[in-house]
Amino acid sequence: MTAQDQIKTTIDANDVVLFMKGTKSMPQCGFSSRVAGVLNFMGVDFADVNVLEDEGVRQGIKDFSDWPTIPQLYVKGEFVGGCDIITEMTLSGELDQLFETKGITFSKDAADKIREANG
């Protein structure tokens, strides 16, 4: 199985996937930590893929999405963005809307707390 096949299979098999440096319980970079932290705090059930474990996946996800940086968030097979985009979407409420539209369970109270703390 090629890295591209592996990536596609992972995205298809999970409603929410974060390709990141490290894992959701032990991120290995600040940007990955921020996105995983938002998802964890909001109670989103997501698959984490540690790109540091596989150079093929690390480069492959950049080619797959045509996006140059890690982390990368996918929701229901759709590429959403990296750290800056997820941060902006969280603060604007767009991430809540995306999760609601796609039927992803999350804590609206937690999302509101993030906005209150950063408002």
- 29 known ligand binder: yes
| Contact of 30 with 53, CB cutoff 8 Å | no
Cβ atoms of residues 90 and 111 within 8 Å: yes
The Cα–Cα gap between 36 and 21 comes to 10
List strands edge to edge, sheet with 16-20.
Answer: 47-50, 16-20, 72-75, 78-81
Nearest to 35 by CA among 104, 96, 85, 83: 83
Q: Are strands 72-75 and 78-81 parallel, antiparallel or unpaired?
A: antiparallel
Q: List the binding residues.
A: 29
Residues annotated in the binding site for [2Fe-2S] cluster, as ranges? 29
